[in-house]
Amino acid sequence: MKKVIAKENLCLNCRLCEVYCKTAHSKSKDPLRAYLNEPELQSRITVCGDNQKSVAVQCRHCDNPKCVEACITGAMQKDPVTGVVTCDAEKCIGCMTCLAVCPFGCIKIGETAVKCDLCQGEEEPACVKNCPNRALVYLEMGGKADA
């Protein structure tokens, strides 16, 4: 399956990926309006570090996802066809057991678990599309897409 790869040496710590991730998951789809009117929005990608050293981290959509295995409600699932790991907000109770087992720190805390969905339906995730330094690339990574 295709995954987002972060090139650490090219990351500027500008955090535009975070801004565009929020925008892509906002109601308005506009960066300013999303910023002003939807304060609860969370970026599903996180730039860790500072201006010396930084790297953007987001869900790896693992072949054997720990979060899916640990989910106590059946909300977290890996799509058997696309391989994308998503959380069903109707089922999720926000217990954050997924966060407690994700080895990369890719689950954000909200009313329910919040995580990268690879901008399903889009050709390229918003973070990749809007990274000015091409530090994020969307590549075929192999890995089976079975659940």
Partner 1 sequence: MRSYLIIGASAAGLSAAQELRAADPQGKITVLTAEEYLPYSRPSISYYLKSKVSEEDIYLRPAEFYSEKKIDVFTGARVTGLDPAAKTVTTADGRQFSYDKLCLATGSHPFVPPTEGVEGKENVVTFLDFASAKRLKEMASPEKHAVVIGAGLIGMKAAEGLVKLCKSVTVVELAESVLPSILDANSAVMVKEHLEENGISILLGNTVTRADSQGDTITSVELKNGEKLPCDLLVMAVGVRPETALAEKAGLRVERGITVDPETMQTSDPDIYAAGDCVTSVDMLDGSKKIIALWPNAVQQGKIAARQMAGKADRLTENFSVNAIDFFGLRICTCGLIHAAGDPYRELVRREGSVYKRLIVKENKLVGFVLINCIENAGIYTALIRSGTDLSTLQGDLMDMPTMLLYSEAERTSLLLGGEPA
Task: Note the residues at the interface with ligand FAD (CB under 6 A).
Answer: 72, 95
Answer left, alpha or beta for residue 136, where phi above 0 means left and psi between -120 and 50 means alpha: beta
Nearer to partner 1, 28 or 64 (CB): 64
The answer to whether the beta carbons of residues 86 and 103 sit under 8 Å apart is no
Does residue number 143 form part of the binding site for partner 1 (CB under 8 A)? yes
Residue 76 bridge partners (DSSP): 87
The site for partner 1, by CB under 8 A, has a size of: 42
* Interaction partner, residue 109 (ligand FAD, partner 1, none; CB < 5-8 Å by kind): partner 1
Beta bridge partners of 2: 140
Q: Any idea which residue has 């069903």 for tokens?
A: 88
Which residue of 27, 29, 53, 133 would you call a contact of partner 1, by CB under 8 A?
Answer: 53
Question: Phi, psi (5° rounding) for residue 122?
Answer: -90, 155
Closest CA to 74 of 57, 59, 93, 52: 93
Residues 76-115 interacting with partner 1 (rule: CB under 8 A)? 88, 90-91, 93-105, 107, 109
| Footprint of partner 1 (CB under 8 A) | 3, 5-6, 8, 46, 48-49, 53, 55, 57, 60-64, 66, 69-70, 72-74, 88, 90-91, 93-105, 107, 109, 141, 143, 146
